[in-house]
Amino acid sequence: MPFWLVCAYLTAAQHPSLSGTVVNAETGEPIPYAIIELAPRGRLRLSDMGGRFRIDTVEPGTHRLVVRQIGYRPFDSTLTIPLASQPGLIVHLTRLGILLPPVTVARSDECRTPGPPERTITPTLALVFDQMVANARRMLLMQDEHPHVLRVQRRITDVELPRGQQTSITDTLQLKSRDRWRYRPGQVVGRASYETDIEGRWITRPWKDQDLIRLPTLEDFADSIFVDTHCFSFGGRDSIQGDRFIRIDFRPAVRIKTTDVAGSAYLDSATYLIRYTVVTVTRPGQGVPGLMSLVATSRFREIPPGMIVTDQISAVSRRRGQPLTERLEEQRLLNILFHIQPPGWR
């Protein structure tokens, strides 16, 4: 890690502030919503729409400044904050160029050595994996630093096979960004009552007590527990919903003998933003008796540019019984209410 002496803007001699602007090294254009970390404080924050950031009450002395943005190489340097007032800091980030291999490397079907990719063995996979994790970290930061409520329309349809008789219901959920279920290996199944889910939130459904599968979301890619219990492999370029993306596959370690998840994440090849995830439940019948399969596809969109939210989820499952039943659950984002708006966003 190089040592840099950086002139930071100071507002007071005893408790200075660090401020600056994050820009594209090639064009000089500001980079919005970069993640700013100043150690040893450890507090994360986002730059605003103009790439500007400010960290108050910084002790004079030596600090480590890390600036990250999806699709860019991180800025990671040591800086010395003096006592005298100085001009603002300009952080230049360089666009990330990843040369994708022409042939996808074959993977083993069994995950015996879970964890993040080895950089010396699969450098391209490690770079793309870093971008996937960066997507997850920024979503977590937005949820924590800029809490909000998602208003989601949900439609659940049960179809009896082979006759095709349907039972449907449509309702609306209000999901708080800070209400978070944390992944535990092999523990993705809980019990749901008629009136509440496993977190105690009131829901509407015409079905009686049943098992509820809590599928991992984008944020779980930033969770060391999830990463350390799954293997990741490079899927090359692949198509979904008519568009081409970079695909990363994941699957649970062989030591997990109960219901868990495998799947894929699809990243935009230009921006490295995650656009889709596809999650498949493994060993479904062990966690939910009679469950034959469950596949959920999530779509993400930007609000505002560079910041993503889950826009739509479509989950299809089949359950053995008399009759055989197929369930389609669709969730669609209606709107977002921020309690604390992201910097510079209106």
Single-letter amino acid, residue 167: T
User: pTM, whole model, 2 decimals?
Assistant: 0.84
Q: List helix spans (H) across 146-253.
A: 224-228
Which range has the top average pLDDT, 83-97, 131-145, 173-187?
A: 131-145
Which range has the top average pLDDT, 131-140, 194-203, 336-345?
A: 131-140
pLDDT (tens digit, 9 = 90+) per residue, 177-232? 888 788 899 888 765 443 444 344 444 444 444 556 778 888 999 999 999 999 99
pLDDT (tens digit, 9 = 90+) per residue, 241-294? 888 999 999 999 999 999 999 999 999 988 999 999 999 999 998 888 888 999
Count CA atoms within 13 Å of residue 143 on its CB side: 18
Tell me: pLDDT of 328 over 90: yes
The per-residue pLDDT for 206 is: 41
Three-class SS state of 231 = strand
How many Cβ atoms sit within 10 Å of the Cβ of residue 295?
15
Q: Answer for the pair 144, 114: CB distance below 8 angstroms, yes or no.
A: no
Where in the chain are the domains? 18-93, 126-338
Single-letter amino acid, residue 241: Q
Q: Answer for the pair 270, 100: CB distance below 8 angstroms, yes or no.
A: no
What CATH topology corresponds to 18-93?
Answer: Immunoglobulin-like (2.60.40)
Largest CA distance in the chain: 79
What's the average model confidence in pLDDT over 140-147? Answer: 88
The per-residue pLDDT for 286 is: 87
Going by the DSSP 8-state scheme, the letter that residue 220 receives in this structure is G
Looking at the DSSP assignment, which residues form a beta bridge with residue 301?
309
Q: Answer for the pair 152, 314: CB distance below 8 angstroms, yes or no.
A: no
Per DSSP, the residues of 39-106 read ETT--EEE--TTSEEEE-SPPSEEEEEEEE-TTBPPEEEEEEE-SS--PPEEEEEPBP-----SSPPP
Per DSSP, the residues of 31-43 read -TT-EEEEETT--
Alpha carbon dihedral 303, 149, 67, 128, in 10-degree steps, equals -70
How many Cβ atoms sit within 10 Å of the Cβ of residue 3?
9
In sign, the C-alpha dihedral spanning 42, 43, 44, 46 is negative
Task: Record the tokens describing residue 156, joined without a space.
Answer: 């659940």
The per-residue pLDDT for 204 is: 45
Going by the DSSP 8-state scheme, the letter that residue 342 receives in this structure is P
The per-residue pLDDT for 106 is: 54
